[in-house]
A and B are shown apart, each in its own frame.
Chain A
Amino acid sequence: MSVLDTDPREQVQVLAEGGSVVEGATVPDLSEEEFVEMYRTMKLARHFDQRAVSLQRQGRMGTYPPLAGQEAAQVGSAMALDEQDWLIPSYREHAASYVHGLTLEGTLRYWMGDERGNKLDDLNIFPVAVPIASQVPHAAGLGMAANYNDTDEVFMCYFGDGATSEGDFHEGLNFGGVFDTPTVFFCNNNQWAISVPREKQTASETIAQKAIAYGIDGVQVDGMDPLAVYKVAKAAVDRARNGEGDKLRPTLIEAVQYRYGAHTTADDPSVYRQDDEVEEWKAKDPIPRMETFLRDRGVLDDERVAEITESIEDEVAAAIETAEGFTRPTTDSMFEHVYADMPERLREQKAYLDRLQSKHGDEELLE
């Protein structure tokens, strides 16, 4: 029986909160190196996130959506993708995107208000989708195109618990089912859509069970257990790629997790939730959990952990330095990517802005 056949009202887990393997669970077939990489990437994501929030606080970056608490869901799922597969993010998948090849400076560049941070040539990553759930039908459509072109790419689409209330979520899953697309619909259920808790979002017992309505499998996983996430995501990616008996190829995965911080740096969660709740969820924290698992297997010791900590701090610091060194995009770039061929009127407007810049200087226009 596939792990995807689990009742969508039950939760798949591999690592217990303390980091031991739960009874009867099988550990996914990854190399020691891959396990360490999983751990290192989660730790890197956590550190990056802290630095990014602090950059925003210091006025060195605009609004930023933090991911702390959600590392296992992002890293575990993205590690299940092959290089040829596609990642269709919402706006919080900095860690998943990193796993799939996006540099940290690329992520910073985008949140520093520079569109080039979204120009991911050579990477199979779709641009950030800020409106909620709008990327879900895109992921189904990408899968339809792959079917038409007879490729074996898989499309992993991320969205939150709030997104499951939008029409686009339902339409995307419905198309996925009807057209049997190679799409994995991955819900990062972090319990809060800004200030609205999961139980006010839907009267369904689980989000995973919504899959039943579209004729596809839905599975709920402990989203703070990286091994369980990887296991479920890998099974879903394999089924999307290869099919499996009479099963339809898409899967809805609900990864149950918690957003430790604010929705974005513009949000103040102390207004709508209690600190105890955050502390309760921190008992499930994926990073110590994975660390314990690796120490128990003799793969990690204090020395190795210290090395990893130092290397991620260096990597993040270097990325920040690179990102802050990028020059401001030119004003021409505002006009250059609207159409393949710039219409005459846009040329005129571009020339007008050039004249404004020469006449008034950037300082006055940017005041």
Chain B
Amino acid sequence: MSDTQNLTLVQAVRDGLKGELERDDDVVVFGEDVGKNGGVFRATQGLHDEFGEDRVFDTPLAESGIVGTAIGMAAYGMKPVPEMQFSGFAYPAFDQIVSHAARLRTRSRSRFSVPMTLRMPYGGGIRAPEHHSESKEAFYTHEAGLKVVVPSTPRDTKGLLAASIRDPDPVVFMEPKLIYRAFREEVPDETYTVELGEAKTRREGSDVSVFTWGAMTRPSLEAAEQLEGDIDVEVVDLRTLSPMDWDAIVESFKKTGRAVVVHEAPKTGGLGAEITATIQEEALGYQRAPVTRVTGFDTPFPLYALEDYYMPEAARIEDGIREAVEF
């Protein structure tokens, strides 16, 4: 049995990057403040010293430039792992992400691919200024050609990051910064992968299925525990949002007949809608109640005086579960 370290989620990001940098010379890590500073969240701490300026480096402050050059490097055969400092600052690069990273394979009939892993912290709850708190995963899942991964535990983070970096196609790797340091978990020292596209059932239950991801996994589990003895709640952490593990979703739903989708992102056009529609298509005969969505509101993410009202938390999720069960 291999040795482990007790790591936070952000330390697991760092450990995952380190493992892949050691494993494959084609892996390079770059972005704003990822070098000497070790990243504004310390996700790349010490990597510049350890691997040198050629492998881990700071760039000019230009997101479109960062992703555009990553695409060029990836097309050449490298494995770039650029960072967007916050997902809310990725939009200058949006054209490069959706028009080029996502499409170069299609455009060149698979001559070129873009094996890039674009890391970005996302989500609210950290009392940060404007644009530092949004959850816009649906922008990326809407785009064919991109994979979208959102880990929720340190152990998964390292394995999913390795799988993303080794994947032949572009992956948007969204890191739930609210839980960067919220808890620790034993993480193997050696490198390993957690396969993309596979959900993980965090809690088995028979009355209702909660589908969630990222920072919402913990309050969902908390709500499930609160309801124990009353309602038997299953919590499924989707982990990869594109491609989504539809088999796991449909299988869980066939067992419980009820579903609650929990996401921080705004309700309208969020992934809750896609999950709900797929359940209707694939398992209508099993449905015992309307699918409930517990989500952020259809407003811009507020400044921090109001952010805790915006974000779903355990009490709201409990309400949502009761609504589905008591229908």
Contacts and interface: CB of A to CB of B under 8 A. Distances in A.
Interface string A319-338: 00000000011010111001
Nearest to B310: A334
B298 interface: yes
Nearest to B316: A356
A146 B131 CA distance: 29
Nearest to B305: A113
Given A91-B129, A266-B40, A360 B315 contact: yes
Contacts of A131: 88-89, 91-92, 131
Contacts of B299: 334-335, 338, 346, 349
Interface string A271-285: 110000000000000
B128 A201 contact: no
A364 interface: yes
B305 A328 contact: yes
A166 B62 contact: yes
Contact of A165 (B36, B65, B304, B313): B65
B72 interface: no
A27 interface: no
B175 to A, nearest CB: 16
A193 B299 CA distance: 31
B: contact size bracket:
35 or more
A163 interface: yes
A110 B303 CA distance: 9
A62 to B, nearest CB: 5
Nearest to B131: A130
A115 B61 CA distance: 27
A103 interface: no
A130 B130 contact: yes
B196 to A, nearest CB: 30
Interface string A233-264: 00000000000000000000000000000000
Nearest to A162: B61
Interface centre among A166, A334, A364 (most CB of B within 10 A): A334
Interface residues of A, number: 49
A271 B37 contact: yes
Nearest to B88: A131
B297 interface: yes
Interface of A: 62-63, 91, 110-115, 128, 130-132, 162-163, 165-168, 193-196, 200-202, 266-267, 271-272, 328-329, 331, 333-335, 338, 345-346, 349, 353, 356-357, 359-360, 364-367
Interface of B: 32-33, 35-38, 40, 58-65, 88-89, 91-92, 127-132, 267-268, 297-300, 302-310, 313, 315-316, 319
28 contacts: A62-B128, A110-B303, A112-B305, A113-B127, A130-B132, A131-B89, A131-B91, A131-B92, A131-B131, A132-B89, A165-B60, A165-B61, A167-B92, A194-B32, A194-B33, A195-B33, A195-B36, A196-B32, A200-B60, A271-B36, A271-B37, A333-B306, A335-B297, A338-B300, A346-B297, A349-B267, A365-B309, A365-B315
Given A113-B307, A194-B37, A196-B32, 10 more contacts: A113-B303, A128-B130, A131-B91, A131-B131, A165-B60, A166-B63, A193-B61, A266-B40, A333-B306, A334-B306
